[in-house]
Structures are given as structure tokens and as C-alpha cells.
Amino acid sequence: MPMGNLAHLGHCHGAGACAAAPASGSFTERDEKNSPPSNSSCGPGFASPLDAMKGPREEIVYVPCIYRNTGRKKPDFLATVDVNPESPHYCQVIHRLPMPNVGDELHHSGWNACSSCFGDATKKRNRLILPSFISSRIYVVDVGTDPRAPRLFK
């Protein structure tokens, strides 16, 4: 069930920084579709930004959303946004993962395996790392089990 469109996100920052998917930097269902067989010598993502641009477009993106200076005493959250133009939920927030604490100020994000791991078949891009400015907390989000509804791992 959709949870709203992008206009209702409030204070949001762009998702993840990973050279393997330069358009959005997010984990996408295309990563799963393009993952080589387990006996392959390739790892997560793409060998280069050019290869990523030639690959299929992202279907979902993750957006860290913060409540700092909004007057709301709510925890920041990670929004999952459907960016598949063929989807009935295109450009809508399809999931919100609230953080367990108030006042973190999530900032940027990163992967547990970056593009430098492309040649390592033992690596998977299944966790999103979310650091916080104000609290200095670091959250680890499981995006591999259910990419459309991530959950807090640590």
C-alpha cells in the first residue's frame, strides 16, 4: 500500500553514495537481477559508472528523511520510494523505517560493500549504513531480506 508521494517527505536528503550506481546510489532490485551466479568472479554492482549507466534503471531508492528543526519530536526515518515508471506506485513512498531514537539527524548513507568489491563474488550489497550527525549513532539497515520493506539490522 502506498504511503504518500515525494512531496510529503519533508526534509529529505539524497540516498546513498556508491560509485557503482551513480544515478541514485541506492540498492535496487536491478542489483539482484544483475547479480552474477555465486560461482562467478564478479561481486555487487557494476565494474564502472559507465556499466551502471548501461544497466537497467533503478526500481526503488532509499532516502534518509530527517525531522531536525521541524518542531516534531519524531525519529528520523528511511523512506523507500518506488521509482519504476511502470509501477502503479511510481514516485510514492512505499515504506518508512523509523529509527529507534529521536534527534539523530541521519546524513547520507553508504553500502556495506562498495564498487571496489565488484570483483569479489563473496560480497553482497545487502546492508545500508546510516550515520547520524547529532547523535553520532550509526545504524545498519537490512535491505537484502526485503528490499521494498527494509528493517533495522543493528
User: What confidence tens digit (pLDDT) does each residue in 107-147 have?
Assistant: 888 887 676 667 777 777 788 899 999 999 999 999 999 99
Greatest CA span in the chain, whole angstroms? 52
pLDDT value of position 119 = 73
Task: Please give the angle made by the CA atoms of 20, 23 and 24, to the nearest 5 degrees.
Answer: 90
State the average pLDDT over residues 3-32: 37
The Cα–Cα gap between 152 and 78 comes to: 10
Q: Over the stretch 57-112, which tens digit does the pLDDT of each residue have?
A: 889 999 999 998 888 999 999 999 999 999 999 999 999 999 999 999 998 888 87
- pTM given for the model: 0.70
pLDDT value of position 18 = 27
CB atoms within 10 A of CB 86: 6
Q: Over the stretch 22-69, which tens digit does the pLDDT of each residue have?
A: 223 444 444 444 444 444 456 677 778 888 888 888 899 999 999 988
